Structure 1
Amino acid sequence: MKLLTLLLYLLALPALAQEGVLRGRVLDADTHQPIPNAQVGIGGNRLGTSTNLEGRFALRVPAAYQASELEIALLGYRPYRRPLPPLPSAELLIELRSSPASLGTVTVTASAEGIIREAVARIPLNYPVRPTQLTGFYRESDDEATRQRYDYLVEGLLRVYKPGYQQPDEPGQVQVLQSRRVDLRPAQPGAALAPINWVAGAFVPHRFDFVHTRAEFISARHFKNYQYRLSPQTTFQGRAVYVITFGPRPGTDRANFAGEVYIDEQSYAFLGARWHRTPAGIRRERMLVFDASERAYRTDYQVYAGRYYLKSIWYNTLGKPLAGQVRHHLAEFVTTAIDTAQAALPGYQARSQYTDIFLDNPAPYDSTFWQHYTTVLPPQALLDQARQHQADTLLRRPAPTAILAAPAPKKWGLLRHLRYTYTGGLLGVRVPATDLRMVLAPAGSTFRADAQAATAVQGLAMQYAFGVQLDFTPQLAAYATTRHLLGQLRGDGWEAGLGYAHNLNPYGRPLRARAGLAYLRQSVGQELGTFANSDADLRLAGTPLAADELTLSLQVITDALQPRLGLGLEVSHHWEAVADLGYLLPLRTRSQLLIEEKKGFFSFSQHAADLDLPAAEARVFVAGQPATEAPWQLGRLLLSVGVLYRLGQ
């Protein structure tokens, strides 16, 4: 084993040696002052980032790009190009020389709504049409608003896979690369009546990228609900823009948002927006466990290599849960690197799910991780500076770019390998139309029962089942299930066995072919009636039956082997939809008379006796003729459709 480890390490050395981080600082050649927001790119601008407030940048450079040129550009400065130095290297010092550019004079002749329509029409020209990979810093927190007492604060590094902006219906993917947290919520059960667990935090870069999603206030389908006005403001972040305010059109409450959007005068590109939900919009969200009073958003974009990319998102919620004080929830995302190469999507298991809670994400910790990723944040990237101070204090770190500590692993133990099953379906039965009669007269007892019933033709019975599955490996599992029949015939049963699953779609949402073999025991019976018990000392099959009333049922017990085949589709990391078809191979079948005590609702002890047929105490008649067994049998097919639920991740 040690030799194998050494060989793998030696094989990995060339790859490690070929990867490094390019670091540099960009200054004005005349004033020698740092230049923030300069666009840094390599490989024909397929990979890039921007400088921070001190003019610094850091960019991870894969081996494939190390023969490329370094390119730096910013409006008002001459483009800078040079071959990449051997990596790793000392921090580069780069000076840009000014080259003033005139923005020209633009005469506004269109209406505010017309400008919005033109900006939407130019989205394929201004935003990437190819898939893009963003690396970014994410922070989420929840606190009690009145006292600013934090419940939790969590942050991490995300890799965001965005489809082209001409495809607004494609949601994109997210991978959590690294994270850390501090959770201050009470650990005692019942200490917090209704803790709020916010889902989809990692999807903030997709959810509030209003240009890609074609948010309602820039969607032609909803223009009739909005009123647009040109604002006197003419600049945004130093650029000449149209500032358009929007809100509900008078006479309608169908607009969910109000705010303002910033559109570049020359390119008609959306540079950003500030907006919030209207009271009617908050009501229409239908947040069942949280009464929101404020839902506000900010989104900015940055230009890189002639296209606009997501720069930052700020998402703020204020409100009151069903129990507790007014709470404040805040999430922020800022892009630290842009990769326009056709990067492959991560495997399905590595992707975040929309329903995931970021506080509970299981991203592993690697002490050398941050040496290989861009971690320098652009200037004023995190808008809530008070919360930044709280993060520095609670998470004990000197700056937002420091190494993040690992989240404490959940102590699932064996539970993380358990899954629960909930299924329903059909069970094959063979039931003829006939009359039944049963006479029970135990020797030496005063108890007598003479019951009659009839059966109708039936070929299938409805059934539902609950069970548990223990995963030994991602493919092999053991399971146990209890089953219950509904309808004319009733019965209980169980099965236990082994199952195997093979993923037919390893590069996307798992679609698993399922196979298994189980041992099954199932009862199929019909109740014959309830009779008064005149014998307090009655004993049948060694079981005392002292209740005032006894219920009699005729049933068939079948033991069988069940091979099965099926399919499973993973709906999320926790849920999987399954469908199985089993074929029963009977090993033993016997008929029984089941005698049960009938007790009150609050009685917890109930005896039951199983009397195997034929028996001296009981006589059975089918269609008027003596019989030694019930007239129905269990069929061969068993169809089940349901879900599996995984407790841990």
Structure 2
Amino acid sequence: MKHLHLQSKMPQFLIFLAVVLLSTSYFTPGFAFQEQAFTEYKGAVYDANDKTPLTFADITLEDTNMSTISNTEGEFLLKVPNALLNKSITVSFLGYAKKDIALSHLANTPEVYLTESASKLTEVKINAPKNALALVKATLNKKGENYIDAQNIMTAFYRETIKKRRKNASLAEAVVEIYKQPYSSAKQDKVRLIKARKSVDYSRLDTLTLKLQGGPFSTLYVDMIKYNEFIFSFEDLKKYEFAFASPTQINNQQVYVVNFKQKPEITEPLYYGKLYIDTDNYALVSAVFNLNVNDQVEASKLFIKKKPLNAKVLPTEAAYRVDYKTHNGKWHYRYSNVQLAFKINWKAKLFNSKYTLNSEMAITDWEENNRKFTTKKETFRPSMILSEKASGFSDPNFWGEYNIIEPEKSIKSAIKKISKQLAKS
């Protein structure tokens, strides 16, 4: 068996593409990707000013927990039960005014344009940071002060999905415990796998299967306060340009908005995006960013570790999001999402293959607790592959009455539904 190994810039965040012989699928038809009585709505979210796509915009169906998010091209897909077709969706994005759109209107006008929502800050707050770079440095320097300073054990719901073009090919879900270390500590977070399941349709993958090494770590490492060296270390800050955008509000809290991108003279693929920083204590509230993959050949070197000689693998998208939450005056990691897309060009083949990998994790509960693993066998290590540790969809009561969480829907929309079931697990 030949292997195509892909590695991201973040250490130990690996994607494995394995060339396999076509085999009998153990995908469970009618379970994870079951046809239901629903209507699909496709759309795209853009900035109203410069028409750029908005990645990770939230799309929520009125009066329900059903939601999804946009991809790196701003596109989204929402499946709506036919009994709810008279409702509207709410489209929102950090720093932008929300927009409500009737499904009947969306069907004819799928493009959604959002306008930046600027907040006026007091003169004292406006003058607080000397410049955007100084604010970012202050944010990184204050992680020991603003973020949890003791081990917290967090329960989380993690999911990774793989699509070939727009068709679902693989799904893995897990309940995990995260032993979240103090932000001021150099200790790495640990993960314990509580329960996991998977479903794969090899017929949709042709002769290529994708496996994400590290599972929950792929999203945990997006915590750029705990692991800022993976995004930009203090040494890397000089390679970036930082600039203030219009301040805004998140959950009624005023935040600075900082745009960042690599300097023009820097040729290596780095990140670009937005940081949302609390105006009171300089804590990072959220970050949405991408890896610059304009130079696909150079960017591919950050991912490819080993590949078949007859394949050329080029990354086309690499988008990341992380959100934080405050509790008892201390901030902590709450949610993250990673979207990666690759184009596989095969020699002697006319058409290429396109694959999209999405992984996301949301914290459902947490408590300050210094408990340790009883054995090393309990630890899920960054070198492990979740889909190899997970069983099939054999337990019909895995999520209780909410057994189906469709991959098109953000897991954040599922948390309220499955929190009780997670607690039982």
Corresponding residue to 1:175 among 192, 201, 204: 192
* Deviation of the 1:351 alpha carbon: 1.0
Q: Which structure dedicates a bigger proportion of its chain to strand? A: 1
* Residue aligning to 1:201: 215
* Residue aligning to 1:295: 318
Corresponding residue to 2:363 among 300, 325, 335: 335
SS of 1:106's equivalent in the other structure is helix
The runs of 5 or more residues in structure 2 that have no matched partner are 1-62, 66-120, 308-312, 347-351
- Checking the alignment, whether the CA contact within 8 Å between 2:156 and 2:361 is kept in structure 1 is yes
Distance in 2, Cα, partners of 1:204 & 1:338? 20
Corresponding residue to 1:107 among 116, 126, 132: 126
Letter in 1 for 2:141: A
* Deviation of the 1:205 alpha carbon: 4.3
* Residue aligning to 1:132: 152
* Residue aligning to 1:214: 228
Corresponding residue to 1:164 among 171, 179, 182: 182
* Deviation of the 1:115 alpha carbon: 0.3
> Structure 1 residues 112 and 369 mapped into 2: Cα distance closer, same or farther (>3 Å)?
same
Corresponding residue to 2:274 among 240, 247, 260: 260
> Structure 1 residues 388 and 216 mapped into 2: Cα distance closer, same or farther (>3 Å)?
closer
* Deviation of the 1:369 alpha carbon: 8.5
Normalising by structure 1, we get a TM-score of 0.40
- Checking the alignment, whether the CA contact within 8 Å between 1:260 and 1:275 is kept in structure 2 is yes
Aligned positions of 1:264-275 closer than 5 A? 264-275=278-289
* Residue aligning to 1:93: none
After superposition, the C-alpha distances for 1:378-428 in whole angstroms (9 at most, x for unaligned) are: xxxx9x973459x99xxxxx9655869xxxxxxxxxxxxxxxxxxxxxxxx
> Structure 1 residues 332 and 216 mapped into 2: Cα distance closer, same or farther (>3 Å)?
closer
SS of 1:119's equivalent in the other structure is helix
Distance in 2, Cα, partners of 1:112 & 1:201? 34
Distance in 2, Cα, partners of 1:177 & 1:387? 23
After superposition, the C-alpha distances for 1:227-276 in whole angstroms (9 at most, x for unaligned) are: 00001142234321111111111211245111111110001101110011
- Checking the alignment, whether the CA contact within 8 Å between 1:294 and 1:317 is kept in structure 2 is yes
Runs of 4 or more above 6 Å deviation: 363-371
Distance in 2, Cα, partners of 1:291 & 1:346? 42
* Deviation of the 1:158 alpha carbon: 0.9
Corresponding residue to 1:344 among 369, 372, 382: 372
SS of 1:117's equivalent in the other structure is helix
The runs of 5 or more residues in structure 1 that have no matched partner are 1-52, 56-102, 377-381, 393-397, 405-649
> Structure 1 residues 306 and 218 mapped into 2: Cα distance closer, same or farther (>3 Å)?
farther
* Residue aligning to 2:381: 353
Correspondence 1:153 to 2:171: yes
* Residue aligning to 1:590: none
- Checking the alignment, whether the CA contact within 8 Å between 1:320 and 1:326 is kept in structure 2 is yes
SS of 2:408's equivalent in the other structure is helix
Corresponding residue to 2:202 among 185, 203, 212: 185
SS of 2:209's equivalent in the other structure is coil
* Residue aligning to 1:228: 242
* Residue aligning to 1:37: none
* Residue aligning to 2:75: none
Distance in 1, Cα, partners of 2:367 & 2:397? 22
- Checking the alignment, whether the CA contact within 8 Å between 2:219 and 2:337 is kept in structure 1 is no
- Checking the alignment, whether the CA contact within 8 Å between 1:157 and 1:178 is kept in structure 2 is yes
Q: Give the total of aligned pairs.
A: 284
Distance in 2, Cα, partners of 1:367 & 1:385? 18
Distance in 2, Cα, partners of 1:299 & 1:270? 10
Letter in 2 for 1:276: N
* Residue aligning to 2:408: 386
> Structure 1 residues 311 and 388 mapped into 2: Cα distance closer, same or farther (>3 Å)?
closer
- Checking the alignment, whether the CA contact within 8 Å between 2:339 and 2:358 is kept in structure 1 is yes
After superposition, the C-alpha distances for 1:614-647 in whole angstroms (9 at most, x for unaligned) are: xxxxxxxxxxxxxxxxxxxxxxxxxxxxxxxxxx
Letter in 2 for 1:106: K
Corresponding residue to 2:264 among 250, 264, 287: 250
* Residue aligning to 2:73: none
Letter in 1 for 2:150: R
Bigger relative contact order, structure 1 or 2, given CA contacts below 8 A and separation 6+? 2
* Residue aligning to 2:139: 119
Letter in 2 for 1:128: I
> Structure 1 residues 196 and 366 mapped into 2: Cα distance closer, same or farther (>3 Å)?
closer
Normalising by structure 2, we get a TM-score of 0.59
